[in-house]
Amino acid sequence: MGDWMRRIRDAGLALALALALPALSVAQSPAASEATPAVAASPESAPAPVRAPSSAPLALVLPLDSSTYGRAADAVKAGFTAAADAATAKYTLIAHRDGDVEAAFDRAKEGGARVIVGPLLRDDLKAIAGAGGDLPWTIALNQLDDGTALPERMYTLTLASESEARQLARRARYDGVRVVAVVGSDAPFQKRFAAAFVSEWILLGGAPPVTFRFDRAPEMLSLLRREFGKAAPDAVLLAVEAQDAALAKPYLGQVIAYTSSQVNDRQPREALRDLDDVRFVEIPWLADPSAAAFARIARREYSNAALDRLYALGVDAFRVAQAFADGAPEKLEFDGATGHLTLDRSHQFVREAVLLQFRAGQIVPAEVR
């Protein structure tokens, strides 16, 4: 049981990092540090800025020297490097510590970068967006959460949970759902996930969902069963942690359930049957690892799916950076490792992932209703 709980804890923390980037502690992959382009070290020992030997210089700026976020950054770097190697392209890698992102961006600009990929962390993005000054084309790997407008030359490519929630809301409408319920926890990540779903659902013409607060206490689960049965919704959004989705689903009857990709973070076998007919979206890199589109890109084995998603984010970030080498494209749309990506007018990449479901303890493509 101790090992099972550790796996659940690691998966939950890692997915939260992939989408909201709080703390993570996972073993670093040694291979991710091999055969990389020139690296700018931390400020005390940094050499003169290095210009990437390319006609369209790219710079990747990541918190690799952060004790908290370094391993997550390493997964992004490994994916970016794999895609660059497949394209026989070079770039400059600039590592920075916590709170040092502005100096790292300055080094990238001084080195002649025409495209910068980064920052990875939300607070670092706020710092760069609020600093003013000229930027080269910049592909941020997180998003601002307060509605602040992005600088003119900044675009965002993210793994944000909100994009999953909006896709699930659209799928629920497509499935013919009329009345939907939300079972959610008080965790900030889950609140953002639920809010994005509800917002999209109402925008599509759906009625405001009935909501239930999730509580693991047995008496509260029994109450949830009674009250949920009275509401009789056609479907439910589970805005809860992965292990709680498996706990809650049996109390909700034979109703269609939707939840985040967190549910796919290597659930223990004993939980899989409790998740029958639960639907979620997953990135193509994990949903279809043998796809021909990824055949030339090296893979890494990580201890949890969240780091796999960050690796895939690095793969797509390289492709986007290449597209910006000669300036911002008027239109950019492609099938990537993290989903079908479309650049919209707000400088954000809209991401559509693959819809999957649990059936008899297995993960299969979601059936069309």
Contacts of 146 (CB under 8 A, 6+ apart): none
Q: What percentage of the chain has pLDDT greater than the value 90?
A: 76
DSSP secondary structure string, 303-349?
SSHHHHHHHHHHHHHHHHHHHTTTS--S--EEE-SSSEEEE-TTSBE
Instruction: Dump pLDDT digits (tens) for 135-173.
Output: 999 999 999 876 678 999 999 999 999 999 999 999 999
Instruction: Report the topology of domain 161-266.
Output: Rossmann fold (3.40.50)
Query: Three-class SS of residue 120?
Result: coil
- Evaluate whether 246 touches 267 at the Cβ level (below 8 Å): yes
200: Cα separation from own chain's centroid? 19
- Evaluate whether 266 touches 251 at the Cβ level (below 8 Å): no
The gap between the terminal CA atoms of the chain, to the nearest Å, is 38
Is residue 5 over pLDDT 60?
no
Is residue 12 over pLDDT 50?
no
pLDDT at 146: 62
d(Cα 133, Cα 10) in Å, to the nearest integer?
39
Return the amino acid letter for 89.
A
98 vs 149 pLDDT, higher one: 98
pTM score of the predicted model: 0.83
| Total residues found in the chain within this entry | 369
Task: Name the band, by pLDDT with cuts 50, 70 and 90, for residue 64.
Answer: very high
The residue-averaged pLDDT of 94-123 equals 96
Task: Work out the mean pLDDT of the chain and round it to a whole number.
Answer: 86
Task: Name the band, by pLDDT with cuts 50, 70 and 90, for residue 210.
Answer: very high
Return the amino acid letter for 83.
A
The residue-averaged pLDDT of 339-343 equals 97
Burial 351-366 (b: 16+ CB within 10 A, else e): bbbbbbbbbeeebeeb
Burial 57-81 (b: 16+ CB within 10 A, else e): bbbbbbbbbbebbbbbbbbbbbbbb
- Evaluate whether 137 touches 153 at the Cβ level (below 8 Å): yes
Nearest partner of 268 among 4, 3, 1, 2, judged by Cα: 4
pLDDT at 45: 35
Query: Three-class SS of residue 43?
Result: helix
Residue-range domain boundaries for the chain: 2-159+291-338, 161-266
2-159+291-338 has which CATH code? 3.40.50.2300
pLDDT at 268: 78
Is residue 236 over pLDDT 60?
yes
The residue-averaged pLDDT of 240-259 equals 95
- Evaluate whether 233 touches 179 at the Cβ level (below 8 Å): yes
The residue-averaged pLDDT of 257-262 equals 96
Comparing 101-105, 129-133, 254-258, 342-346, the range with the smallest average pLDDT is 129-133
pLDDT at 256: 93
Instruction: Dump pLDDT digits (tens) for 112-121.
Output: 999 999 999 9
pLDDT at 29: 29
pLDDT at 163: 93
Nearest partner of 266 among 249, 290, 282, judged by Cα: 282
Is residue 6 over pLDDT 60?
no
The residue-averaged pLDDT of 3-18 equals 42
Same fold, 2-159+291-338 and 161-266: yes
Task: Name the band, by pLDDT with cuts 50, 70 and 90, for residue 272.
Answer: confident
